[in-house]
Amino acid sequence: MYHELDLTKIKDFVDSARFFVDDLLDATFLCWKSCKIFFDRVTHIFMTKMDDLLAKNAEHILKYRGGQTVKSTVLDSNPSRILLNLPGGLTGIITKKEASGFGVGPIDIEVGTDIEALVIDPENDQGLVVLSLRRASQEMVWAELHECLDSERIIKVKITEANKGGLMTQYKGVKAFLPVSQLTPMNYPRVDGADAGEILRRLQEHVGKEFAVRVINADRENGKLIVSEKAAHASQRIETLKNLRSGDVVKGQVSGVVKFGIFVTFGGVEGLVHLSELDWGHVSNPGKLYETSDKVEVLVLSIDGEKLSLSIKRLSDDPWKEKVDKCKEGQAVSGKILRWNAHGVFVEVLPEVQGVFALEQFGVSDHTELKLSEGGELTGIIDKIDFDAHRLILRKEETEKAAE
């Protein structure tokens, strides 16, 4: 009896325990499910917020590209490298080789300085952005040169060397070429016979000098920069030609001396004083009268486009006119024979006054047929006074009598 009672109680206890465990398991499952739903929602909210945060800051994260110019602040600097604080929280580095730009090096740059550099590598093995101060400097100079080309702005450069084609110079570290053809008249190496050695020697005289020039070709891709001194003075030249008239008297400077005369420059233009316009007397060597850079006054004879014909002798009275002042057409004169050639027989009528007989006056067509003696005397009649040629045109007295 007692034993049966015990079994019944145990059975009831086990059933109660089983129901309790089942209820506990159900409750645990519901709790787990609720927790899962909660964590899923939290995770979703977190990821959504993170995506939004990343989207908002996307432009500041690893957006750099090669060739891009970036403004930054110097974090640290030593002789071998510069560390930079870049926008977006990244760190940049400039090596010693790439640190020489804008006329400075690594040791010249202080911490906290704001600089502009060019991205070479958006991310190296250490996760740093590699930049160049030197290349950024060059890019900025080329940008300035293109602006100079477009705006026709005049810049100043110093000549560093010369070659047979022109002069070498540089602008803020960028090498440039100034061709001979783009030099102003005053600096152009005008040489008789185009002697290459003499041209080079004259060009070398410009080394170290400062020139005002204009950019006429800026090719960044090929690193080609060509400048012109002539173009820098173009507006002055145009203005001078606009106001210049034949008959004007101007002051200038000798820009070249050659066998056939001298070149004179003024107001950005250049003209030629021919040998025959240098002096009223005979000139065989202009170099004995003038040197480059001499100051002179000239008379403008004619203007043909940019080609100017000038004269120095016409600024003074022709002394020959005074010497023949007492000579009259039809007057009988005599003179000493100087020479004879295909143009006629030349005699000295007065000191520095020559007369000429045509060959026909002697009944010959070839001067070699003449039987004359140098220093002998001839008499004739003044047929014409040629003031331009500075000669007396003579005829023989026999011809005059024959005509009568």
- 167 in the same domain as 183: yes
Give the predicted TM-score (pTM) of the model.
Answer: 0.60
28 found inside a domain: no
Mean pLDDT of the chain: 85
- 248 in the same domain as 218: no
Q: What percent of the chain has pLDDT over 70?
A: 81
35 found inside a domain: no
237 found inside a domain: no
Among 185, 212, 232, identify where a domain stops. Answer: 232
147 found inside a domain: no
Number of domains in the chain: 4
Minimum mean pLDDT range among 2-6, 66-70, 163-167: 2-6
Binning pLDDT at 50, 70 and 90, where does residue 109 land?
A: confident
- 104 in the same domain as 74: yes
178 found inside a domain: yes
Give the residue-averaged pLDDT of 331-342. Answer: 94
Instruction: Give 382-396 pLDDT, tens digit per residue.
Output: 999 998 888 999 998
19 found inside a domain: no
- 128 in the same domain as 158: no
Instruction: Give 257-290 pLDDT, tens digit per residue.
Output: 999 999 999 999 999 999 999 998 888 899 999 9
Domain membership of residue 125 as a residue range = 69-137
Instruction: Give 132-160 pLDDT, tens digit per residue.
Output: 887 877 888 888 999 999 999 999 999 99
CATH, residue 267: 2.40.50.140
- 163 in the same domain as 124: no
Q: What is the 3-state secondary structure (H, E, C) of the chain?
A: CHHHHHHHHHHHHHHHHHHHHHHHHHHHHHHHHHHHHHHHHHHHHHHHHHHHHHHHCHHHCCCCCCCCEEEEEEEEEECCEEEEECCCCCEEEEECCCCCECCECHHHCCCCCEEEEEEEECCCCCCCEEEEHHHHHHHHHHHHHHHHHHHCCEEEEEEEEEECCEEEEEECCEEEEEEHHHCCCCCCCCCHHHCHHHHHHHHHCCCCCEEEEEEEEEECCCCEEEEEHHHHCHHHHHHHHHHCCCCCEEEEEEEEEECCEEEEEECCEEEEEEHHHCCCCCCCCHHHCCCCCCEEEEEEEEEECCEEEEECHHHCCCHHHHHCCCCCCCCEEEEEEEEEECCEEEEEEECCEEEEECHHHHCCCCHHHCCCCCCCEEEEEEEEEECCCCEEEEEEHHHHHHHC
Among 292, 315, 338, identify where a domain stops. Answer: 315
What is the per-residue pLDDT for 262?
94
Give the residue-averaged pLDDT of 72-97. Answer: 87
- 210 in the same domain as 272: no
- 396 in the same domain as 330: yes
Binning pLDDT at 50, 70 and 90, where does residue 224 land?
A: very high
333 found inside a domain: yes
Minimum mean pLDDT range among 5-14, 81-90, 161-170, 202-211: 5-14
Give the residue-averaged pLDDT of 99-126. Answer: 76
What is the per-residue pLDDT for 194?
75
